[in-house]
Structure 1
Amino acid sequence: MSEALKTELVNFSELTGEAGSARRAELARHVATLFALTSDRCSDEQVDIYDSVLIRLVDMVEQEVRQYVAEQMAGLRRGPEETIRKLAEDSIEVAEPLLKRSTVLRDADLIRIASNTGNAHRFAIAHRDVISEEVSDVLVRRGDLRVKRKVASNTGANLSDASMMTLVGDAAADATLQMSLSDRGDLAEKHIKALVAVASEEVRKKLYAKGRRSEAARLDEAQEIAEQRMSNQYWLGRYDFETARSRVLLLAKRGMVSEATLRRFASEDRFPEAVAAFAWLVRCGVEEVSHWMVRAEPEPFLIIAKASGLSAITVGALLSIGPWRHRLSPEVRTESMKTFERMTVADAKRKMAHWSNVVLN
């Protein structure tokens, strides 16, 4: 559909000039509200139409109206992507709800915004429920003390070794940062030792107290917390698989779903579409596949992929998107790829035969 046809529902020529100001504001609010109410039922084409209309309207309205549009878009699982990206780079008053809550924004968007905007935007990103290592690295590297404090206190922020050590170093001069770090459950022994070396007496006692608990008790507690925070449903609930399934089925009817399609979805970090395409290629249900591709132990996925003849390049790409981007460590990914490459198709098919009536969760 051409751009002209996409936007013909709105006569933009009637909205120009001072006289059209109120009408522009009213229309932007109405379109945003309507989309928020109907987004789950919109086709891809309809979403594109909303996107083409909204992205023009937000350029024509005042900040207060853009704030309203951003707030309407922030909690949606799917939305007008170009409009959301544009508003996420607007003033912080507009961008804040999107940066904090929008799952439409991908890591690449967040990294770009965190790199190119100011600390107010970085502070908003630091509030997200889940933050990948790559995004956290930018926040820690470029953020001010307030941003670093928020990242350190956010249990959903995944921290690389480099970011953790940076925060520990900065904590030497900041008691609040010391306290936030001491409460994290993902401190490695070397991080604890480094933090003890710079911490105030109060924090040092707290860390030593942790160390005196039996190792088994600490592991049991960490495992329980991890299971509560990282259950399959916690991750899967963030994605719209039904829309992705419909989209992939349309492509399949046109003969356009292949391993190359699957790799493209992976390269674009389109996890729901990757799940749906994988399900179609291996002839399994989307719900079943979604549970394979969220597990902290990816072996069932590796077996199905090998039995279905997928390449190592495709499998490696899939191990780095969606929930697995956060749940699998680099070491687990490396070991998984070794397992996949050692496994033969015959081995995989034999293992599948043992699953005949077993549902893998």
Structure 2
Amino acid sequence: MTQALKTELVNFQELDGGADSSRSAELARHVASLFAYTSDRCTAEQVDIYDSVLLRLISMVEVEVRSFVAEQMAGLRRGPEGTIRKLAEDEIVIAEPILRCSTVLRDADLVNIAEKKDDSHRLAIAKREVLSEAVTEVLVNRGDVHVKRQVAGNSGATFSDRTLMKLIGDSTADATIQMSLSERADLAEHHIKQLVGVACEEVRKALVKRGEIADAARLPEAADITAQRMTNEYWLARYDFETARNRVLLLAKRGMVTEATLRRFAIEDRFPESVAAFAWMVRCGVEEVSHWMVRADPEPFLIIAKASGLSSITVNSLLSIGPWRHRLTPEIRATSMRTFDRMSVGEAERRMAHWGNVMLN
């Protein structure tokens, strides 16, 4: 049966006997199209047969035909691995669709190609929907600025800490990389601070060069604000506040949103529900409250909590959940609780009133 399939696909004796190149091209197109049509139904043995046949055929045909074969192979879920690897290492006009789309290629294949081929191949790899840490490491270490821009903007790329820090460092010389990195949702706090520092330093140099010394001196403060906003968004993006808000509204209709309910949410580390319950109790929006309860400085939350009459037990519980479980050190929590306990309700209300006056003015 195996020999019959080989014979049915291609008579290599005829080709080796001097058939013209147009016959080889026709057969390559035919076999590639046939496999693309039947690939999901082929046995492993049949795939191997197609692989051996296609490998011989693509060595006998010109660029245009190899490009056709690559296009046929690129989108297949399973395919002739040897043929696909060979096409992936061909010149870029042939390799591009394979490198960009083929799920048959393994990480080891991609790493190998990225290491030994040029930036055109690396750029095609960088456009894949998913990139592993091993692949992004090679792309960032070996790629030119165009490759790095593509990787930085690829939402399906994952990075080791070392690779991401290198890419942030490389962004010093390229604003496009900086912008792409700033829009990523997977940056940790130390990545964000490093990125903001890089961007701030470049702007500072430009201002100093133009003689705008005063503006340059104010940049660190602006950088701190930017870093805080970005880190806040990094943490908040992890939670589903809309669903939590709807759950709390149902409880509120039954008169069940109380401090005891809020404390229970905190004890269970249900951060979105805690935010939504606190927002309902203090009559503020969930989005606004979520930003109070993610800040590295919890002072605004402490003031609102004191003015709203929350107990120390509840506040202490809330300071240990969600992002604050990671962002606040034990020392900051202890200091925050001392601040809360010493603050009077009247003082908290006066500070809230001051905020209102500032916003009105």
Class of the TM-score when normalised by the shorter of the 2 chains: 0.5 to 0.7
Alignment of 1:284-303 (within 5 A): none
Deviates more, 1:99-108 or 1:189-198: 189-198
Q: Secondary structure at the match of 2:32?
A: helix
- Post-superposition offset of 1:15: 1.7
**Match of 1:221?**
237
Does the Cα contact within 8 Å between 1:6 and 1:52 map onto a contact in 2?
no
RMSD: 2.5
Q: State the one-letter code of the partner of 2:89.
A: E
Does the Cα contact within 8 Å between 1:14 and 1:20 map onto a contact in 2?
no
Does the Cα contact within 8 Å between 1:136 and 1:163 map onto a contact in 2?
yes
**Match of 1:25?**
25
- Post-superposition offset of 1:107: 0.4
Q: Aligned equivalents of 2:12 and 2:231: distance in 1?
A: 69
Return the structure number with greater helix share. Answer: 2
Residues 113-158 of structure 1 deviation map (CA, whole Å, 9 limit, x = unaligned): 0011010000000001110000110011111111011000001010
TM superposition score normalised by structure 1 = 0.57
Does the Cα contact within 8 Å between 2:187 and 2:234 map onto a contact in 1?
no
**Match of 1:41?**
41
Gaps of at least 5 residues in structure 2 are 205-218, 241-361
Residues 227-269 of structure 1 deviation map (CA, whole Å, 9 limit, x = unaligned): xxxxxxxxxxxxxxxxxxxxxxxxxxxxxxxxxxxxxxxxxxx
Spell out structure 1 runs of 4+ moving beyond 4 A: 200-207
Q: Aligned equivalents of 1:133 and 1:214: distance in 2?
A: 22
- Matching of residue 168 in structure 1 with residue 185 in structure 2: no
Q: Secondary structure at the match of 2:20?
A: helix
Q: State the one-letter code of the partner of 2:235.
A: L
- Post-superposition offset of 1:162: 1.1
Does the Cα contact within 8 Å between 2:196 and 2:223 map onto a contact in 1?
no
**Match of 2:107?**
107
Residues paired across the two proteins, number: 222
Alignment of 1:184-223 (within 5 A): 184-199=184-199, 200-201=202-203, 208-209=225-226, 211-212=228-229, 215=232, 218-223=234-239
* Percent of pairs with identical residues: 60
Q: Aligned equivalents of 1:168 and 1:207: distance in 2?
A: 17
**Match of 2:96?**
96
TM superposition score normalised by structure 2 = 0.57
Q: Aligned equivalents of 1:194 and 1:164: distance in 2?
A: 10
Q: State the one-letter code of the partner of 1:164.
A: L
Q: Aligned equivalents of 1:133 and 1:142: distance in 2?
A: 14
| Higher Rg | 2
Q: Aligned equivalents of 1:163 and 1:214: distance in 2?
A: 20
Does the Cα contact within 8 Å between 2:51 and 2:83 map onto a contact in 1?
yes
Alignment of 1:12-91 (within 5 A): 12-16=12-16, 19-91=19-91
**Change over 3 Å in CA distance of 1:154–1:57 after alignment to 2:** same
**Match of 1:239?**
none
Gaps of at least 5 residues in structure 1 are 225-361
Residues 324-345 of structure 1 deviation map (CA, whole Å, 9 limit, x = unaligned): xxxxxxxxxxxxxxxxxxxxxx
Q: State the one-letter code of the partner of 2:183.
A: D
Higher relative CO (Cα under 8 Å, sequence separation at least 6) belongs to: 1
Does the Cα contact within 8 Å between 1:192 and 1:207 map onto a contact in 2?
no
**Match of 2:147?**
147
Q: Aligned equivalents of 1:50 and 1:119: distance in 2?
A: 31
Q: State the one-letter code of the partner of 2:163.
A: S
Q: State the one-letter code of the partner of 1:86.
A: K
- Matching of residue 8 in structure 1 with residue 7 in structure 2: yes
- Post-superposition offset of 1:218: 4.4
Q: State the one-letter code of the partner of 2:7.
A: E
**Change over 3 Å in CA distance of 1:223–1:14 after alignment to 2:** farther
Q: Aligned equivalents of 1:190 and 1:220: distance in 2?
A: 16
Q: Aligned equivalents of 1:208 and 1:134: distance in 2?
A: 34
